[in-house]
Structure 1
Amino acid sequence: MTNEGPTFLAHKSGDAVAVAVRDVEPGNAVVGYLDGTPSVEVEVRAEIPLGHKVAMVDTSSGSDVIEYGVRTAIATADITKGDYVHTHNVRSARWQTSVA
């Protein structure tokens, strides 16, 4: 890990995504947690712009995406850890009912 700080920030341990704090190229990146969970590394699989998200876990299409410790989105495609997470593979969970 480098001394320049994390490349991504996640809010809570268990979040499925983390937010880029700068433009990110594919390769190893550090994820810091705002809740004090120790930093981890993730292998970024695509370019991710500042403010956009990286997958911290594999998520199947139709599954909930957790951020801030709550369900914020639903995967519309299978997502692999390290993938770019955006409108091409998730939709907002706002106003949606849970899938049983």
Structure 2
Amino acid sequence: MATGFLVHAAEDSVGVAITDLSSSERVEGIYQHGGSHPAIEVSDTVPLGHKIALADIPAGQRVVKYGTAIGVATRDIHAGQHVHTHNLRGERW
């Protein structure tokens, strides 16, 4: 199975696509400091460098990347979905 995303920290709720990911593709991830993340099915096209949800993230819940909250989900996000400005409000802006 292809490696499709990188997880920066164990507590992250999103990974970062290390290649363009296609809908219905099944990919596994790797942790930055070793080990692998269980495979997930991609449900949206996720471009290289963009975030993918590792598990379901309910609306209103903080989204975690690099072990730090980067924003809040503005709607329910399901595992395998693209996480970006259409469903995430950033912490900084």
Query: Which TM-score applies when normalising by structure 2?
Result: 0.90
Equivalent residues in 2 for 1:59-98, closer than 5 Å: 59-94=57-92
Which residues of structure 2 form unaligned runs of 5+? Answer: none
Q: What letter is aligned with 2:11?
A: G
Aligned CA RMSD, in angstroms, stands at: 1.3
Contact 2:59 2:74 in 1 (8 A): yes
Higher strand share: 2
Runs of 4+ in structure 1 over 3 Å off: none
Question: What amino acid is the match of 2:40?
Answer: V
Percent identity, aligned pairs only, is: 40
The total of aligned residue pairs comes to: 92
Mapped to 1, the partners of 2:41 and 2:67 lie a distance apart of 22
TM-score between both structures, scaled by the size of structure 1: 0.84
Max Rg structure:
1
**CA shift for structure 1 position 78:** 0.5
Matched, 1:20 2:11: no
